[in-house]
Chains A and B, each alone.
Chain A
Amino acid sequence: MALEKTSTTTPACWWVDLPETDYPEALDLQLAVVNAKTGGRLEADVVLSVEHPRVFTLGRRGGRENLCVTDDFLAQKGVSVVPTDRGGNITYHGPGQLVVYPIIDLNRRRLKVVDFVSGLEQAMIRTAGHWGIDAGTDPANRGVWLDGDKLGSIGITVRRGVSFHGLALNVNTDMAPFGWINPCGLDQVNMTSFERRLSRPVPMAEARQHMAAHLAAVFGIALTTVSPEQLYAVI
């Protein structure tokens, strides 16, 4: 759709690599960035790149019914279940999974929600392609798929035109906890990962670099790497 903006200014977009961060702490950081943006205190868009310790998260409409194990079992394994306000159903995050939270002013960049979600899928597909993994989309179900198995998931929220939450790509994820849920509320869906396909792990730092480059290319955005400390200083 032809909705090009004639503005001459190109808003900055920061790429921030976080250390492994607990899910609730990363969500607080996302919300702080969203508030800074909707409150007019932060001009730049921000893309957070992170791995979480083991956690299940629910979508706005829930998904606890797709949890197939008891609370006792989860407590024993040290895995919590966190309700969120994002789109989509239950999912799992854990070490070895590349999680990316693009906090983008979609209105300013004239990005439609449907195109934004498709772009996130494309960035995951291209990142997989770097390792010769031929992933694709499924017209019936969002996310990124590999021979009928799910490789990457998407769930976002849009507040005052600003996106948050984002994508989760299974690079070297321990896949066992996916067996404790019906991922995304889909029955009989198997999850897969780069490691499972290649029979070897992939360096996470490399996966992050490729993801950053592909996101930039897909959305036509120049990314500037900024440290977490620099981000904390302005929100």
Chain B
Amino acid sequence: MKAINELNLPEDARYTDDHEWAKKNGDVVRMGISDYAQDQLGDIVFVELPEVGSSFDKGEEFGTVESVKAVSELYMPIGGEVTAINEALADAPELVNSAPYDGGWMMEIKASDPAELEALKSKADYLELLKG
């Protein structure tokens, strides 16, 4: 288990109360789950993602991760249309554990309201949430 000061929380990402991260990547927003989330879930054995082209509201459930006999729901950091999913996770779900912001990204979203990204937590605010 990682202590808070050992967590990798990139400055250029935004975070949600449900421990997802989101970051601008060209015209779209790339998202995944935070280092804290992957650490507390344990070894991830399956990632269930929606089809490209589906749309969700901010906060809506879009998929699940399964770890250690536990299915945990995933929620949209912002609303929009899914433009890409990380196909590599089908065969290598452990990438979410080893590289949550790089190889373990989950989806790319075309934001329905760009302001929603800016409204998410900064690293400093997310750290406050984790510290309670």
Contacts and interface: CB of A to CB of B under 8 A. Distances in A.
B109 to A, nearest CB: 20
A112 B69 contact: no
A42 to B, nearest CB: 19
Given A5-B132, A7-B132, A158-B73, A113 B41 contact: yes
B66 A61 contact: yes
Interface string B48-74: 100000000000000010111111110
Interface string B64-91: 1011111111000000000000000000
Contacts of B131: 3
Contacts, number: 78
B25 interface: no
B132 A160 contact: no
Interface residues of A, number: 31
B68 A117 contact: yes
B3 A2 contact: yes
A1 interface: yes
B71 A114 contact: no
A205 B40 CA distance: 34
A87 B69 contact: yes
A52 interface: no
Interface residues of B, number: 23
B99 interface: no
A161 B42 CA distance: 15
B69 A156 contact: yes
Interface string A154-173: 11111111000000000000
B27 to A, nearest CB: 31
A60 B66 contact: yes
A156 B40 CA distance: 15
A110 B69 contact: no
B74 to A, nearest CB: 10
A143 B41 CA distance: 16
A4 B131 CA distance: 8
B132 A3 contact: yes
Given A142-B69, A158-B73, A110 B3 contact: no
Nearest to A114: B42
Contacts of A5: 132
Contacts of A7: 132
Nearest to A184: B69
A150 interface: no
A7 B131 CA distance: 12
Contacts of A156: 69-71
B125 interface: no
Nearest to A159: B73
Nearest to B6: A1
Interface in B1-59: 1-4, 18, 39-42, 46, 48
Interface string A26-60: 00000000000000000000000000000000011
Contact of B132 (A61, A110, A116): A110
A156 B132 CA distance: 25
Interface of A: 1-7, 59-61, 85-88, 110, 112-117, 142-143, 154-161
Give me the 3 closest cross-chain CB pairs, A-B, nearest first: A114-B42, A112-B40, A1-B1
